Structure 1
Amino acid sequence: MQDFVDYSMESLGDSGQHIWDDYEPSKNFFVSDKIFVHFLQKELSPDAWSFLQPKLVKLGKLAASTLNELSISAHMHSPKFVKRDLFGRDIDNIIFHPSRHELMKAANQTRMMGSSAITFLSPEFEGQQYRMGYALPYILALSDSSVTNIIGMKDAFGQIMKRYANPELQAKFIENDYLLGPENASEVCFCFRENAAGLKFDAISTKAIPLRDGVYKISGEKSHCENIHAHLKLVLAAVPSENNEKPKLSIFLIEGNNKPGVSKEFEIKNLDQKLGMHSLPVGDLLFKDCTAFLLGEEGQGMEILEELMKVTNIWSSISAVAGFRRSLVEAYQYACYQTYDGNRRLLDHPSTLAKLEALNNQFVADFYLLWKTIRMMDKTGPEKPHLESNLNHLIPLIKNHCVNSAISGIGQSMKIMESHGYMEQGVIPKFIKDCLALPLLHQSSIHTVSVIVKNWAEVQDISSFFEPLTSSLEHFPDLELLKVELKKLLSHIEESRYDDPDFLDFNADKIMKNLIMYIQLSMLLHQEDHESAAWIHPAINQIKANFLGQNSLLALPVGAQKIIGQLAWGF
């Protein structure tokens, strides 16, 4: 491909010299990422690759330069909330640092973010649209998590609109908005939660009163609204039922207009000060007889919400895995150029090599877990209903794991960079804060893992999901013990549904950790080829060691060149 990068260390100079003065960061996040380039070239058709590759190269260069600088600036300047203007009028204005506007404008220039955009532009790529649609966001996420998730919300909105909105609404809010150009692209706000209701959606008090066909008036207060300033708002509200029946939870679309002098239908009550994701503001909204359009049918709210969460969970996973990759690369590049004990490179220190190898194995397992799941999304269809069911259980599990794994991996990468890793003007503090804020976006809590595991336990035949893996293990004699342990684990999960209701809650974390490792193993076993063996084979060995309790065994040191091959990142 164009601009191919030499992955050897020969260009880094003599390791006996202090070479900080020669340090240069990556110039293209796509061209440098051999793991991602290899995966896409192997997965996509020649036509799809030819169509996508120039766009990835262009965005990769932008992400490594302009977007990277804007992201750091936006992160260090949180948005400000102005309730009233000079004359005492309520304006409910959220003021962003100029870097945030430039960041969104630059990101929108690609005009091809997410599967809904790919389908709209190029229907001939059916069957590859998810891998193609999520490739650009992955490169973007190597620079910034907030904007990636903002575009992810718009992607989820687009998919929901295509399925549940009438043609008139689709034309107004999807096709026309998309064709307006990057400067005028609308953002989307999600308003699903209420402080009083907590995680109980049945307790939602926001009411939707019908006016005419498909048009309602909404009143109520929503908390932790994501991307609160956005022009378009999706709201979860209850439509009262007759005869004291249960209210019908439904999803509504609101087109906002809160300019001074205009009668306001909603009010921004406050802006939350959260840990990360500063370009994606969160706060509370009060709706006052606000005109709204029903999406789908009355009572379909939870169904639509689950579909929205499935899409945004993938975007969160992309942000987490990309943030992990970028942080690991930052630590690796730091180790290449920093010295210790006089003139020795930090990269040559055995403890640095051991840590980089362990972190890269962790990243590789997460990378293929994510992208093979996205590949599975491309294979779904009416003739394969079991895949859709599997994905409904798999995606929440993957999102939860990828975020937690990224937080751990980014923290360890920070330690490799010593005191430099903790400086706010660097990228690693930004990424770890953004990953810590990801659970806020999608209603994760301490009980999330328990809920996910219980959903897995409710699968009628959980063993069938793992049948491809158990069949694969038969071809690897050294993995026979893993096959036995997998059957034991699945048996425990199935039996616990009837024997002890607290068993799954108490062991949820352990069960999820083991399920993830088995799924990761299944994703990796048949992905290895001559080129990718350099990074996949060590990751497989690490998973096997985790299962067999061999992590405490002593090992011979490895050389820097081997670790460089595993990291597969060009300067």
Structure 2
Amino acid sequence: MHATHEVFNQPEPLADYDLFDGNRALRDALKFNAPGLETTELSRLGGLAGSAEMQMHARLANVHGPQLHSHDRFGRRVDEVEFHPSYHVLMKAATSAGLHGTAWTGRGESPHVLRAAGFMMFTELEPSILCPVSMTYAVTPALRSNAAIYADWGPKLTSREYDPALKPWRDKAGVTMGMGMTEKQGGSDVRANTTQAIADGEDGWGKRYHITGHKWFFSAPMCDAFLVLAQAPAGLSCFFLPRVLHEGSRNAIRIQRLKDKLGNKANASSEVEFHGASAWLVGDEGRGIPQILEMGTMTRLDCALGTSGLMRQALSIALNHTSQRQAFGKRLIDQPLMRNVLADLALESEAATMLAIRLARAFDRRGDADEDAMARLLTPIAKFWICKRGSHFAQEAMECLGGNGYVEEGGEGVMARIYREMPLNSIWEGAGNIMALDLLRALRKADAGAALAHELSPARGAHPALDRLVAALPVRVEEMATEVEARRLAQDVALAVQASLLCQAAPAEVFAAFCDSRIAGNWGQAFGTLGAATAFDAIIDRAMPC
């Protein structure tokens, strides 16, 4: 008798590989944006994040999602979220790598670029747990507006120790922080917030308030503290709200329920109510919006980094699968149409990586007028364009695997998780319309045009289509009477900046294929429609993960 269940032509999963050493686009982006960067730590993180053991923890943290316990068995209110042990393994790895707050310690010339590269690679392992990591990164500089709190919490926010226990900050070696902005009636319109703050004297942390109200999206509710918005007598203000108070009692934060989300399953997102919760003013009363803008800039950087990391992961899985899978007498990767798809995905991934790392460089050079202007420009276009491309990218990469990519099981089942994760970064911290409007406002400032022209000048004369696009941008900004075409402008500025970066930091064949397709129009309306003259072999070989 013959066996009926012999398994063959099934690719081995992509595991136990180095995410850093195998990512030439990322390494070249780092060489261009931070030439003297010490990458030993990144190489170590790349090996850890690509290991089969850590991939197992990522799977378990998603399969066994967080569970809310509002009361203990005696009926006492506890408002705790329980996580699978693998979640804590991942959190410990991320904080040990310094992805949360260590960029603010200022060690080395490019701490934000270093952290950005690590954040991208860790996203390839597991993006969900990076929500509290990203928020800790974002709130740290804003917390400096309250010197007393920052003196106590600052060193613990940049510590590489992870301690998930609910206890006072002074008893912990490391802490994490979250944010609470969105309310059910307002969404991005935070000025519509109804949560109220009532003054309650002063102490060693400054002006103390009681906060009463709700937050519709309150992500990572087990963080040690949060920056929240509430209406004070002088208007919308920013407050520091700890989970546990000085004496060890729990603050009056009531977790109503956890969100049942499309993706991001390992992270707990919640709805909460504050019942006279104790909080301390950060900054001045009525100045909550500027505080939000500062924090939003940081989290928007992480949206671009995160989507770029997910693109790279999806591409790597597709390349791994097609290199092993046989169809119609040869490997999938040797089929001409598949090569077109893979090369097209590789171009998109590399362009996203270049733009995201370039934005991180701007944060390392704060105080430089041109870099400050570029941070204002690049933040909305990177968030808008990279994140908009993510879902389409993931769908096409999944199709490279066929049915294997659509199932949740096994190593290639990660592709389904990537696909579900992709829309998050586009929605979170300002959806596409908000980003396009932010860009339009930034471009209308006096210094913006000059900064953008300086950014694009190294690629002048390198490709005629790029030259035409760049020449037209100032006129388009000047003549744009309404915001109705702001999205198209954001797209084109993003493409121009990506092309300029590729011209300087990528091989000539990558730059040429990007410009021919994305800018000159020798491209269809789906991935895999590059022109026949494209250097497919060189582009695919460059993108191989190992």
TM-score above 0.5? yes
In the alignment, which of 115, 118, 125 is matched to residue 143 of structure 1? 125
Instruction: Tell me the secondary structure at the aligned position of residue 277 of structure 1.
Output: coil
Give the aligned partner of residue 286 of structure 1: 273
Aligned partner of 1:347: which letter? I
Give the aligned partner of residue 5 of structure 2: none
Q: How many residues align?
A: 518
Task: Report the Cα offset of residue 470 of structure 1.
Answer: 5.9
1:515 correspondence with 2:493: yes
Deviates more, 1:132-141 or 1:460-469: 460-469
Task: Report the Cα offset of residue 413 of structure 1.
Answer: 0.4
Task: Map 1:413-428 onto structure 2 (within 5 A).
Answer: 413-425=397-409, 426-428=413-415
For residues 159-195 of structure 1, the C-alpha deviation after alignment (integer angstroms, 9 at most, x for no partner) is 222x3121x3223212145458233532222111111
In the alignment, which of 57, 80, 85 is matched to residue 43 of structure 2? 57
Give the aligned partner of residue 97 of structure 1: 84
8 Å contact kept, 2:49–2:55: yes
Give the aligned partner of residue 4 of structure 1: none
Distance 2:433 2:532 in 1: 41
Give the aligned partner of residue 233 of structure 2: 240
1:199 correspondence with 2:180: no
Aligned partner of 1:79: which letter? P
Give the aligned partner of residue 416 of structure 2: 429
Aligned partner of 1:395: which letter? T
1:373 correspondence with 2:359: yes
Distance 1:19 1:199 in 2: 49
Aligned partner of 2:444: which letter? E
Task: Report the Cα offset of residue 420 of structure 1.
Answer: 0.6
Distance 1:61 1:451 in 2: 40
Distance 1:240 1:315, change over 3 A: same
Distance 1:565 1:346 in 2: 15
TM-score, L = length of structure 2 = 0.87
Give the aligned partner of residue 3 of structure 2: none
Instruction: Tell me the secondary structure at the aligned position of residue 146 of structure 1.
Output: coil
8 Å contact kept, 1:457–1:494: no
Aligned partner of 1:34: which letter? R
8 Å contact kept, 1:324–1:363: yes
Distance 1:143 1:513, change over 3 A: same
Instruction: Tell me the secondary structure at the aligned position of residue 408 of structure 2.
Output: coil
Instruction: Tell me the secondary structure at the aligned position of residue 78 of structure 2.
Output: strand
Give the aligned partner of residue 40 of structure 1: 30
1:128 correspondence with 2:117: no
In the alignment, which of 339, 358, 367 is matched to residue 353 of structure 1? 339
Give the aligned partner of residue 546 of structure 1: 518
Aligned partner of 2:521: which letter? G
Deviates more, 1:486-495 or 1:304-313: 486-495
Distance 1:237 1:23, change over 3 A: closer
Distance 1:495 1:45, change over 3 A: closer
Distance 1:429 1:45 in 2: 36
For residues 313-353 of structure 1, the C-alpha deviation after alignment (integer angstroms, 9 at most, x for no partner) is 11111110011001001000000111112x41111111110
For residues 265-302 of structure 1, the C-alpha deviation after alignment (integer angstroms, 9 at most, x for no partner) is 22112211111112222222111221112112222211
1:165 correspondence with 2:146: yes
Distance 2:46 2:159 in 1: 24
8 Å contact kept, 1:71–1:100: yes
Task: Map 1:146-295 onto structure 2 (within 5 A).
Answer: 146-161=128-143, 163-166=144-147, 168-176=148-156, 178-179=158-159, 181-183=161-163, 185-210=174-199, 211-212=201-202, 213-241=206-234, 247=235, 249-257=236-244, 265-295=252-282
Task: Report the Cα offset of residue 312 of structure 1.
Answer: 0.8
Distance 2:307 2:68 in 1: 28
Deviates more, 1:410-419 or 1:397-406: 397-406
Distance 1:508 1:299 in 2: 30
Give the aligned partner of residue 562 of structure 1: 538
In the alignment, which of 1, 10, 30 is matched to residue 20 of structure 2? 30
Aligned partner of 2:351: which letter? A
For residues 437-457 of structure 1, the C-alpha deviation after alignment (integer angstroms, 9 at most, x for no partner) is 22443142x632442343245
Distance 1:462 1:130, change over 3 A: closer
Task: Report the Cα offset of residue 113 of structure 1.
Answer: 1.9
8 Å contact kept, 1:142–1:322: yes
Give the aligned partner of residue 369 of structure 2: 385
8 Å contact kept, 2:182–2:217: yes
Task: Map 1:65-84 onto structure 2 (within 5 A).
Answer: 65=51, 66-84=53-71
Instruction: Tell me the secondary structure at the aligned position of residue 505 of structure 2.
Output: coil
Give the aligned partner of residue 102 of structure 2: 117
Distance 1:200 1:554 in 2: 41
Give the aligned partner of residue 335 of structure 1: 322
Aligned partner of 1:296: which letter? G
Distance 1:548 1:286, change over 3 A: same
Task: Report the Cα offset of residue 471 of structure 1.
Answer: 3.8
For residues 61-92 of structure 1, the C-alpha deviation after alignment (integer angstroms, 9 at most, x for no partner) is 22112322211221223222233333333322
Instruction: Tell me the secondary structure at the aligned position of residue 158 of structure 1.
Output: helix
Aligned partner of 1:173: which letter? W
Instruction: Tell me the secondary structure at the aligned position of residue 408 of structure 1.
Output: helix
Distance 2:408 2:530 in 1: 37
Give the aligned partner of residue 467 of structure 1: 453
Give the aligned partner of residue 166 of structure 2: none
Give the aligned partner of residue 309 of structure 1: 296
Aligned partner of 1:511: which letter? L
What are structure 1's unaligned runs of at least 5 residues?
1-17, 242-246
Instruction: Tell me the secondary structure at the aligned position of residue 290 of structure 1.
Output: strand
Aligned partner of 2:154: which letter? I
Give the aligned partner of residue 472 of structure 2: 488
8 Å contact kept, 1:348–1:560: no
1:411 correspondence with 2:395: yes
Task: Report the Cα offset of residue 469 of structure 1.
Answer: 5.4
Aligned partner of 2:26: which letter? F
Aligned partner of 1:352: which letter? M
For residues 210-236 of structure 1, the C-alpha deviation after alignment (integer angstroms, 9 at most, x for no partner) is 222422221111211121232211111
For residues 364-395 of structure 1, the C-alpha deviation after alignment (integer angstroms, 9 at most, x for no partner) is 111111112222332332xx234213312320
Instruction: Tell me the secondary structure at the aligned position of residue 297 of structure 1.
Output: coil
Aligned partner of 2:214: which letter? E
Give the aligned partner of residue 15 of structure 1: none
8 Å contact kept, 1:350–1:558: no
Aligned partner of 1:240: which letter? P
Aligned partner of 1:182: which letter? Y
Aligned residues: CA RMSD: 2.8
What are structure 2's unaligned runs of at least 5 residues?
1-7, 164-171
Task: Report the Cα offset of residue 544 of structure 1.
Answer: 3.3
Distance 1:75 1:274 in 2: 12
